[in-house]
Structure 1
């Protein structure tokens, strides 16, 4: 029963976030959408940020599942990295649309409310990237290198490029800039690790 209530809350919240954005969505509106009192909603989530985190976690878990499937497929590691970059960029745009973010806001990106979510996601991504690197080394597609350090560097640089791209006004321009910048970095990165 609890799980089904949470699912209903998250579905309603996701629709409201997608239509109005995080800033313009209120707890009482989410509660009204599902015929629940605001007090009852607070029983499940302490505030709007916690609901937003739960909605984002669903998208992140879906992304991780898809990347895990990509990692397990028999294909070149470089293809897997390109697929990762494409899917991660698409996730970023999906989350920007969900929050209705138009431009970079340091307060949103560095808000400590999201620290645990960001850390957990980074940790999952790092494991997946290390696995791809390991496969590339094993298949002699890549030279040997310390995969953990390179995975952290890879994620930090691509994450930084995405964050900087958020400074570009408008979602369409952001997506284009993110795709260009990360594709360029991936090309340079792959040249540096190939025999």
Structure 2
């Protein structure tokens, strides 16, 4: 396929995903149809089936794009930091900020769902969380490896490093849930600073 055709295909797919994302956020996952998405991009429904077999595939693609955007922004902020401690702090603060920013989108997806539909959607959310966790490991592992290569932090056994990443990211998710319950984030940054210091102590002991 010629390069200009490939580029055109990519643009159309981006338009479909942007339209679907906006519709999901406005009406919830359950109420949006393939006809709605087709109308939003100014194409016939049959045209959408060239790119995606059904709404589930569109949804999965929208979620993959969301995850990619989140990880790309976190990676950018982490790479701007210098030390291991600064990189961990950048990771945590950026992830917390983006989670708050996208909360309305993820909440809106459940709008209008019955209890059975919410149960089915819970399985999708679980897959999304698993994807994000895998990406977090890929992002954070080099932070510890590079710190050790520079002599700034001890060299960790792979299993020990994996455990520290697990505890760090799980603790961060726990903090986010706690502050979301009260919808009050004034103590979020000090809590993240403490989590980062505790993680550094675990690395250096």
* TM-score, length basis structure 1: 0.72
Query: 2:44 pairs with 32, 37, 47, which one?
Result: 37
Instruction: Kindly indicate whether residue 195 of structure 2 is the aligned counterpart of residue 185 of structure 1.
Output: yes
Q: CA RMSD in A?
A: 3.7
3-state DSSP of counterpart to 1:29? helix
Instruction: Kindly indicate whether residue 141 of structure 2 is the aligned counterpart of residue 134 of structure 1.
Output: no
3-state DSSP of counterpart to 1:45? coil
**What whole-Å deviation, never above 9, does each CA across 1:145-178 have from its counterpart, x for those lacking one?**
22454235424652465278558776x7286787
| Alpha-carbon distance change, 193 to 113 in structure 1, aligned in 2, over 3 angstroms | closer
Q: Is the 8 A contact 2:24 2:108 kept in 1?
A: no
CA distance in structure 1 between the aligned counterparts of 2:57 and 2:201, rounded to whole angstroms = 42
Q: How many residue pairs are counted as aligned between the two chains?
A: 192
1:70, distance to aligned residue in structure 2 (A) = 4.2
Unaligned runs of 5+ in 1: none
| Alpha-carbon distance change, 4 to 73 in structure 1, aligned in 2, over 3 angstroms | closer
Query: Which structure is richer in relative contact order (CA contacts within 8 A, separation 6 or more)?
Result: 1
3-state DSSP of counterpart to 1:44? coil
Q: Which has the larger radius of gyration?
A: 2
Unaligned runs of 5+ in 2: 1-7
**What whole-Å deviation, never above 9, does each CA across 1:87-144 have from its counterpart, x for those lacking one?**
22233334432222599x98477515863x5555433321221110112223343233
1:84, distance to aligned residue in structure 2 (A) = 0.8
| Alpha-carbon distance change, 4 to 63 in structure 1, aligned in 2, over 3 angstroms | same
1:6, distance to aligned residue in structure 2 (A) = 0.9
Query: 2:135 pairs with 124, 127, 130, which one?
Result: 124
Query: 1:88 pairs with 78, 91, 95, which one?
Result: 95
Residue 24 (structure 2) aligns with? 17
CA distance in structure 2 between the aligned counterparts of 1:34 and 1:23, rounded to whole angstroms = 19
Instruction: Kindly indicate whether residue 165 of structure 2 is the aligned counterpart of residue 154 of structure 1.
Output: yes
1:49, distance to aligned residue in structure 2 (A) = 3.0
